[in-house]
Structure 1
Amino acid sequence: MLAEEFGTASNIKSRVNRLSVLSAITSTQQRLKLYTKVPPNGLVIYCGEIITSEGKERKINIDFEPFKPINTSLYLCDNKFHTEALSELLESDQKFGFIIMDGNGALFGTLSGNTRDVVHKFSVDLPKKHGRGGQSALRFARLREEKRHNYVRKVAELAVQNFITNDKVNVAGIILAGSADFKNDLNQSDMFDNRLQSKVIKVVDVSYGGENGFNQAIELAAETLGNVKFIQEKKLIGKYFEEISQDSGRVCYGVDDTLKALELGAAETLIVYENLDITRWVLKASTGSEVILHTSKAQEANREMFMDKETGQEMEIIDQSSFLEWLAEHYKDFGASLEFVSDRSGEGNQFVKGFGGIGAVLRYKVNFEQLADYESEDEFYDGDDRPEIPSADVLTAGPLNSANKDIQEGYQTAATRALGPPAQSSTKLLRGPSKLRNVAMIHPLPNPTNPAPSTAFTSTPTPTSAAPTPTPTPTKLKSLISFMIAHETPGALVDALTVFSRHGLNLTTIVSRPGQIRPWQYIFFVECERVRGVHDEDVVERVLGELEGKTSCCRDLGSWLDRLGR
């Protein structure tokens, strides 16, 4: 074909156009010699000359195999590159399953975009209805029903093999088609896997079986398939709005809160408007640190956002990219799933206009107002990576009074929270500052003055009853100890708290917060108390010694009340 086109191009009157076309055809022929056969997904070649921004001519030659099969054969000679066939590959990557059943056999196929594939097919010989048989008519009818039943069972078993991978359905929806009642029998049969039955989006009647019936089923289900994404979008945003109406705290919206949820590992599903127009800037401050900004087109005109607070000059631009592309490339790093929505539905339009077109459904409740206090550099660490003394305006959690509660219930609650990964643990355990009231996994040694162990804590003072003779309260010594735990070893928290129990130290307050200088490190401040005279003076030193093997950056900060000036 290219040889014929070469001869045709030789008749072009314009000398410049003639030479350009002949050069492109020659380059394409040379590039095709590198391929011994056509790749499985087809071959795309773009060749021609373009004008650069500097006004110079540049010849380009691009050849590649598409990531999905193409079923279009196209040759064009024009003043631009045509990418329509490739754009169709990007429109929909959902795969739909088809089951075509008739009296002669069954076919299993998939449809993804404009590409259809026959996964499996088999033929069957079923007895027809007849009026003969005499006394054996009932026996013939039973044999016929038995063979039909076995046929439906075989189709149901093959459907599981073809459309379920690793115990998950690998198609977005299933279309059942056929010329008889087989499709309805399969859909209503108990032998049809429930996971596949829930994915059936339409049942259609076709006049043929095999591949002809497959093509007819695609045409009849075209409208339904086009609305599948629309329906899924409405369900997704409907779930988002339902969480808001229930005030569960398991949703967030806006760029800032969504990014915080991603960094915490709390975002389960990211919902983003497909045409979100936000730019991500990576800037360099005068101190050498990087500053990340996210701006809309209107905000870019405000250059004050790009000013360095130290020098008053604009910061150096290191990188400028689309925030939408950045999310598409990095969302998996945060353990989240990404869903794009449009504004064509009522729910989608409300999400874009009312919530800025970006939000997330969270795994657990996150207090974003509390996290806003920690956007600056870590106050608890200096240059030697050792914890500093916390300030009173940050450590807002005061001591808690002990109360005798159900020990076993508290033990199970605290152990479950501590052993879970950060993305699944309660924010009261790994985010802060906040109080942990269920730390009953600590079993303090018996107190000689009060044999009942105090293992669960509450902020409500324990009521006291009037006694004729007041019992003198033993003097208690309090200590404040800090340590760090990495998110890869959440079980280390249980081991660390057990050290306090082993040395007879009762826990009164626990405060936690995420680290910033050390990524994915969590800082814990633990206040403990002991009765004077019961334990020797170096008990804190021995506790620190054991904590060094289980945690990092252990330090005795003295008395909590002294540090807060209370």
Structure 2
Amino acid sequence: MIESEAHKKYEFKRTLEALRSKHGRGTELISLYIPHDKQISDITSQLREEFGQASNIKSRVTRQNVQGAIESLLSRLKLIPKAPENGVVIFCGAVDIGANKTEMQTYIIEPPEPIKSYKYHCDSSFLLTPLEDMLHEKKTYGLIVLDRREATVGLLRGKHIEPMAHLTSSVPGKQRKGGQSSHRFQQLRLIAINEFYTRIGEVASEVFVAVDPKDFEGIFIGGPSPTKEEFESGEYFHHEIQKKILGLYDVAYTDESGLYELFDKLGEALQDVEVVKEKKHMERFLKELVSDTGLASYGDEQVRKNLQMGSVETLLLSDELRKARLTIKCNNSDFEDKRTVTKKPGEEEYQPGNCPKCGSSLKVAESVDIVDELSTLADQMGTNVVFVSSDFEEGNQLLTAFGGIGAILRYKTGI
């Protein structure tokens, strides 16, 4: 099976979840982050020093476990003359496996992005923050929705809309009080509008300037006319931010819900952003579910059957899907069964129960991650595979209402 970037990201995320569930009894788990340009000989020298210092650890068990982990790391480094282009991360230590037992475990990961700095870290859990940061979408857009009464500033970061600031104005309504001249009232109103726009620009500029410039793609402004046009032409942003305006859009709301309304208007402008692609697939899937053609299927068994028939055009998998396909067998009879079970890191092994034929204990003969199984089937049938984030409403619906598995069909099958 040829792995897509989305599938690699899913595997990487799942690996981190498994590592997050690992714990030592003391500060016995070692995390080693090696950048591409770090000399392996220098690391080896440091590890030998750490081995000597570990002899001062008072607890005999902790001392043995730390020194054992360092020895394991030294033996692994002999096989790595030079770190790969993105560097390499090695996790090693005595992991608590329950029943008052530990097991020396080692994991080697080539990260999807370059490691920036060398790290040797010893603790009761593995240091995962640098790798978890690589999962975060870097591409960021600024969002502003405003009218003359209020404004909301937010960030679209990957698949998340983050409301950052909400402002209200003191702009008087269009009805002037008795005794005020029309001209005087209009002047006061224009001054108040300008002050409000200035405040919006200052707050928004502060939010947007804080984003890493290489990740900041630009700004979208939403609101009624002529408010948004006045705001843009007035150049209320910091001059570097002003150049980043990408477009103006009509929206009805200017509170937090307006940010989501603005996002929904950005289809074409954001067509290369993954969340927009995922959203379009989910909208089509949900539409097919209620249409007369009914070119949609969901659930483990139904989708698998459709995949085997070659009727699936697009397979939709939640990136939060954590299930395994088990082959259950009995050693004393010919009983065999296939079961799909939820499988999360740190959970106890699935107990299949007793054989319905002879009553003896059943065994798990094979366990395959359901994403790998369905993706392989899809690849064999020329089916497009889309991983869907649960970070937006329709994506969360795929996970919670449809078991994390959906399909858009080429033709109706009745399954």
Bin for the TM-score computed over the shorter chain: 0.3 to 0.5
Q: Which has the higher contact order (CA 8 A, sep 6+)?
A: 2
Structure having the higher Rg? 1
| Structure-2-length-normalised TM-score | 0.46
